[in-house]
Amino acid sequence: MKKALITTALTTATLLGSAAQAGHDDDNKWRERGKFRDYARVISVKPIVRMVDVSHPYEECRDEPVYRSRRGGSHASAAGEMILGGIIGGVIGNQVGHGRDRDKARVAGAVIGAAIGHDQAQQRNRRDGDYDERHVGYEQRCRVVDEYRQEERIEGYRVKYKYHGQIFRTRMDYDPGPRIPVEVKVKPVPGHR
């Protein structure tokens, strides 16, 4: 048990030491170039807000009247008048003749009566004219409508921070929180004594 604890402690110490050494090596590379990383204290963060029009499509439906036409007029009754005229003519022809002549009179009366019925229907058509019956029905019609609303969009953040007594400002894509990483470059000032 003691041996396992000692092994775990040594492994952890070795890993921490390696990580620290890697971080230290990274810092050394930065310092060789005259730069190093540090943190500055954030004084204020203000979001940069812009109003944008955003489309919110929705479906709008309503019942619209639909007109349907049906041809009407005397055409339907013309056939009826021809049949009626034929029957009346046949009855009259039956009254006129005797024997075989009666059959001929019936046929002739039916033909003449049908012709008279047809002529009557045509005269009425010319007088009254044809007509359209219009029927109104309703059908649901839908369309997509774009409704635009203004919404706030955050485009970034104005960050004010302090490093070694100096105030700096920058713009960032995110809120950095209470401190901000900074890159410090150290360089001698030429001609300064």
- How high is the pLDDT of residue 70? 61
- What sign has the CA pseudo-torsion 155, 157, 158, 163? negative
Total residue length of the chain: 193
> Looking at per-residue confidence, does 90 or 41 come out higher?
41
- How high is the pLDDT of residue 23? 52
Q: How confident is the model at residue 114 (pLDDT cuts 50, 70, 90)?
A: confident
Contact, 178 vs 45, CB < 8 A? Answer: no
pLDDT digit string, tens, across residues 6-17: 444 444 445 445
- How high is the pLDDT of residue 24? 53
d(CA 106, CA 88): 10
d(CA 50, CA 154): 6
| Mean pLDDT across 100-105 | 71
Contact, 125 vs 75, CB < 8 A? Answer: yes
Contact, 183 vs 37, CB < 8 A? Answer: yes
* Mean pLDDT score across all residues of the chain: 75
pTM confidence score: 0.39
Q: How confident is the model at residue 5 (pLDDT cuts 50, 70, 90)?
A: very low
| Mean pLDDT across 125-142 | 71
| Mean pLDDT across 149-159 | 93
Q: How confident is the model at residue 78 (pLDDT cuts 50, 70, 90)?
A: low
d(CA 22, CA 18): 6
Contact, 136 vs 66, CB < 8 A? Answer: yes
**The 35-72 sheet, strands edge to edge:** 166-172, 131-163, 35-72, 179-185
What is the separation of C-alpha 105 from the centre of its chain, rounded to a whole number of angstroms?
A: 77
Contact, 155 vs 46, CB < 8 A? Answer: no
Out of 7-11, 44-48, 99-103, 182-186, the most confident range is: 44-48
Spell out the domain ranges in the chain. 55-145
- How high is the pLDDT of residue 128? 61
| Mean pLDDT across 134-147 | 85
Lowest mean pLDDT of 40-49, 115-124, 158-167, name the range: 115-124
